[in-house]
Structure 1
Amino acid sequence: MKIAVFTDSYRPYTSGVVHSIETFTCELTALGHEIYIFAPSYPHCRNENRVFRFPSIPAPTNRDFTLAIPFSPRLNSVISKWQPDIIHVHSPFLLGQVGARFARKLGVPLVFTFHTLYDHYVHYVPFARNLTRALTRRYCRDFCNQCHLVITPTSVIGKHLKEMGVKTRICNIPTGIKLEDFAEADSNWLQSQFGLNREEKILLFVGRLGREKNIDFLLKAFARITKELPQTRLVLVGGGPEESNLKKLATRLGIASRVLFTGPLARMEVIKCYRSADLFVFASKTETQGLVLAEARASGLPVVAVKAFGTSEMVVDGDDGFLTGESIPEFTSHIKKLLAEDDLRQRMSVRARINAQSLSSRNCALKLSSEYSTLLENKNFLRKTV
């Protein structure tokens, strides 16, 4: 079948949403489906087959991100000529609205993946945050109720949407991972690439350096850990708007020499980081899935994470890691336990790899493909007002 994907973020920008789209595109294409992606343009974007770029402007709160101008004189002819069977949107905003409009025009099913707890990002709004949060929740609810199917990466997010008033059918399909990518990566890459002491225990975080990731909590927790266990290092992989502030905080806490900011890395380099570390640490409270947690497990990394939303379904507490409250003493006590007990860390490493098997990208794509087929077989979807 032909699937048109509308997204407000796409490469070269890096994010969980972008990675999800890339992973499903690869697997769905391997299953014989045709994918056409409609996305914002970025400076120096190369021409790609089956990728339509909208003119865009830099986002005011994140200069690495662009905002699509949701109009193009070529769009109608491209979509009319290609004739998609399904339109799948990955945002309820700019290009998500464009996708919804074409689903209505063409009479095809509209699928929406709810990737982000948008109301948890109001800290980027300089005023009226409570009102903005309420309006964002209502907007997301109404958009979901225009769709024929809503995909959530974890069941806890599906429950959250139902509590918000979403009536559309919700299906839990996580973003899968290519397990084979994690099998043979260099397990000493971080040490050799950045000159780290091979005797150090490495705590790893991978993700966007934004306020919503709660990385200041990680730094404060690590400041406590390094006082008791000086042969530890915290490695933060990724870039983002808070990088400068986080470096200043590390300096104020007296741990700047023990914290490595790698900046953004290529995909295979990130995988090598997982394989080079001893523990994965995570404090974000806004995740719908937390794909990096699944990747850590595939690498055999035990996880210590703050229990919140999607994170709670990505870690089996006491089996392949620990889930804690947002308490620095509780969080650090579990990290110290895993660093001190090699046998426990090894057992959890084995369990992490086993548990990651359920998140095969091929299996997740097969489930999504099945949902597409069900929609197309159910002619009643045309009765729904989009």
Structure 2
Amino acid sequence: MTQQSLTIMIGADTYPPDVNGAAQFGYRLATAMHHRGHQVHVLAANPNERKNYTRTVNGVVEHRLISHKALTHPTIRICTPWGIWKRVGEILDDVKPDVVHVQCHYIVGRVLLLQARKRGIRVIATNHFMPENLDPFLPFPRWFNDAFAKLSWKDMRFVLERAQVVTTPTPIAARAMKEAGNFKKPVIPISNGINSDDYQLREGEHFDPHPQELRIFFAGRLAVEKNIDVLIEALSLLPQELNHTVLELAGEGEKHAELQEKAQECGVADRVRFLGYVSDEQLREGYLRADVFCQPGTAELQSLVTLEAMSASRPVVLANALALPHLVQEGENGYLFEPNNAADLAQKLAQVLLAPEEERRRMGQCSRQMVETHSAQKTWETFESLYLSNQIYYDFVVSQKK
């Protein structure tokens, strides 16, 4: 822990009770910094109504901002720049943070960054999004979405490059921001981090073997970009000797009803278990009882749930898209499959599930070893250093020139 206690303000366009990787990271960052002795404030949308309020949750001060329902999504709420501009300025003047850490360039992050810069406050910016992530929420023709993505890249660069330091969770995301986003300022890849010990069996803990079935586990929003329909179809394509395999889906989302229909159409409704929203402990248990974890999503900048499954020593089968290939050593801890190809996914799942139990255990141990490089402790220490100075940034720039 740093010797200096800081007042940190985190700006998040998505934050719990939202359920997604960026929201979870914002919460983990805030609570970790609080536990490390800092005063932490969070700016985020009011999840329920058009009203500003402030409350303290587990030592973190939450400033919830007036928000509105998104027209293209049943649960997401958004703020407007004109609706929160004055309030964000008032909060900054009252709190007087040493550093601001924004998690996005869209609304809350944009307004907080610009207001902080006006006051000469140090700003760190972390990008968790690719413009293409918005496609499922833009009910427009392909040409419009492509044009919007280009505009979003330009807008992201305009906003985030005003920060002293820009980070993103993975090297592949940093490369995309440089190549597709035309970022001039170096973008530092810093893992979202994971407390891997949280997902291991505790002393005296065990899970009863389940010889009558094998289990595939997925955790995340039941959303279009997760491609869970492909996973359900793949389940139906597994060879006959794996017809005792079940698929557990932990999470809720707008595609729930459609996915239930998909399971019926594929003839596997009796083998697909919709667990709904699960607690952190239930999620941990889901990883530990699984024989393989699958992430078929194609919009993952890191995939925290995959890191959690790997921490639980599970083999993984992941889509060969964005950051997911960095989490697979082919044949060692799992396999990659061609995105949206149910037949290829079924083949890769079968390779894991038909392997002897000892082989799956070995693959899981490899996952566990790989995830050690994503230590949360290292992540929090890195951000603490960035809050205080640009030294890590300068070191990174020098390393890129070698």
Instruction: Answer yes or no: is 1:334 the counterpart of 2:348.
Output: yes
Any conservation in 1 of the 2:237–2:346 contact (CA below 8 Å)? yes
Distance 1:238 1:188 in 2: 22
Give 3-state SS (helix, strand or coil) of 2:344's partner: helix
1: distance between equivalents of 2:292 and 2:116? 45
State whether residues 17 and 115 of structure 1, in contact with CA within 8 Å, keep that contact through their aligned partners in structure 2: yes
Percent identity reads 25
Any unmatched runs of 5+ in structure 1? 192-196, 380-386
> What runs of 5+ residues in structure 2 fail to find an aligned partner?
1-5, 395-402
Name the counterpart of 1:345: 360
The CA distance in 2 between the partners of 1:46 and 1:250, in whole Å, is 43
Alpha carbons 1:209, 1:215 under 8 Å: kept: yes
Kept in 2, the 8 Å contact 1:109–1:376? The answer is: no
1:13 to 6, 12, 18: 18
| Structure 2 equivalent of residue 284 of structure 1 | 297
- Does the CA contact (< 8 Å) of 1:182 and 1:271 recur in 2? yes
Partner of 2:35: 30
Matched, 1:364 2:379: yes
TM-score (norm 2): 0.86
Tell me the TM-score normalised to structure 1 length: 0.90
Cα 1:121/1:340, change in 2 over 3 Å: same
Pick aligned residue for 1:63 from 70, 74, 80:
74
Deviations 1:295-325 (A, max 9, x none): 0000111001111111112223322211222
Q: CA RMSD in A?
A: 2.4
Distance 1:378 1:184, change over 3 A: closer
8 A Cα contact 2:88 2:112, kept in partner: no
1:215 equivalenced with 2:228 (yes/no): yes
In structure 2, distance between residues paired with 1:32 and 1:333 = 49
Alpha-carbon offset, residue 207 of structure 1 = 0.7
Structure 2 distance, partners of 1:24, 1:301, is 25
| Cα shift at 1:284 | 1.0
Alpha-carbon distance in 2 for matches of 1:37, 1:106: 18
Instruction: Deviation per CA, 1:99-152: give whole Å up to 9, x if none.
Output: 112222111222221112222322321222222222222222322322222111
What are the Cα deviations for residues 145-203 of structure 1, in whole angstroms up to 9, with x where unaligned? Answer: 222221111101101111020112211111111223212366649x9xxxxx6521000
1:151 aligns with 2:156: no
Separation (CA, whole Å) in 2 of partners of 1:378 and 1:293: 28
Matched to 1:144, the amino acid is: L
Distance 1:187 1:166, change over 3 A: farther
Q: Please say if residues 23 and 175 of structure 1, whose CA atoms lie closer than 8 Å, have aligned partners that are also in contact.
A: no
1:170 paired residue number: 187
2:238 match: 225
Does 2:393 match 1:373?
no
Distance in 2, matches of 1:61 and 1:314, equals 32
What residue number does 1:141 align with? Answer: 157
- Please name the residue that 1:194 is paired with: none
Report the Cα distance in structure 2 between the residues aligned to 1:35 and 1:115, rounded to whole angstroms: 20
Distance 1:377 1:309 in 2: 25
Other structure's SS at 1:3 match: strand
* AA at the equivalent of 2:20: S
- Give yes or no for contact 1:307–1:325 (8 Å, CA) kept in 2: yes
Asked if the contact 2:11/2:101 (under 8 Å) is kept, the reply is: yes
Between the aligned partners of 2:11 and 2:279, the Cα distance in structure 1 is 24
Question: In 2, Cα distance between the equivalents of 1:378 and 1:357?
Answer: 23
Partner AA of 2:48 in structure 1: P
Q: How many residue pairs end up in the alignment?
A: 373
Q: Is the 8 A contact 1:144 1:168 kept in 2?
A: no
**CA displacement at 1:287 relative to structure 2:** 0.7
- Give the partner amino acid of 2:172: V
Cα 1:187–1:199 shift into 2, 3 Å: farther
Question: Which secondary structure state, in structure 2, belongs to the residue aligned with residue 225 of structure 1?
Answer: coil
Bigger CA drift: 123-132 or 301-310? Answer: 123-132
1: CA distance, partners of 2:158 / 2:262: 40
Partner-residue secondary structure (3-state), 1:132 = helix
| Alpha-carbon shift at residue 233 of structure 1 (Å) | 0.3
The SS at the match of 1:61 is: coil
Taking the TM superposition and a 5 Å limit, the aligned residue runs for 1:98-117 are 98-117=111-130
Is this contact kept in 1: 2:222–2:253, CA < 8 A? yes
Deviation digits for residues 40-95 of structure 1 (CA, Å, limit 9, x no counterpart): 11239993251101011222233322112443565433321221121111111110
Is 1:184 the counterpart of 2:176? The answer is no
Instruction: Name the CA distance, whole Å, in 2 between partners of 1:350 and 1:122.
Output: 36
Match of 1:43 in 2: 48
